[in-house]
Amino acid sequence: MRLFTALWPSEEAVRHLSEAIAALDPVRVREATAGVRKFRFTAAERWHLTLRFHGDDADPQSVADRLDRRMAHITAAPPALRLTGSGTFRGVLWTGVEPATETDRLALRELVRAAGGDPHGFRAHLTLARWASGRPDRRSMPGLLTGYTGPWWTAGELAVMRSDQGEGGPVYRAVHRVPVTRAASG
């Protein structure tokens, strides 16, 4: 069992991005992925922003208790975010996450801190695809979604997720949920 704390995009944001991926030209996708083995898009129901990976041996109750304590001290309003652009790092095609304002950027960092992550080293992204090995063309693979910009959405909750390996890849199950609300508002 692996645990991580995640922020999930809205249904509208997921639908919009799913439609953009479905509209990709298959020839462009083949060309962009020619240098890699076992390229596959991740299922839309798995799309999330990992705020903190807790590891294989983390105790779910301890992680949930810490998150509850930290979230009780959140002072920022839930951040407005959107998915935009794309890039790659080893074995991953991702889309970025853009806060609407500087206040939203700081609120997202506060959520990362509440999850136990390092807000300074955090790069908000959502994993779209993975591959087993090989090197993609540094321009053409991220170029698949150049100019992509999704709708704005507001963070609703953080979830401590359990990840177990299933036949078709990881199976995620929420073990604890915390609404993202301004603590000062009651």
The backbone torsions φ and ψ at residue 47, rounded to the nearest 5 degrees and listed phi first, read -70, 120
Enzyme catalytic residues: 48, 125
Comparing CA positions, the residue from 45, 47, 67, 46 lying closest to residue 159 is 67
Cα maximum dimension of the chain: 53
Task: Give the integer Cα–Cα distance in Å for 44 and 42.
Answer: 6
Question: Count of CB atoms within 10 A of residue 176's CB?
Answer: 18
| Positive/negative CA dihedral, 12, 163, 129, 121 | positive
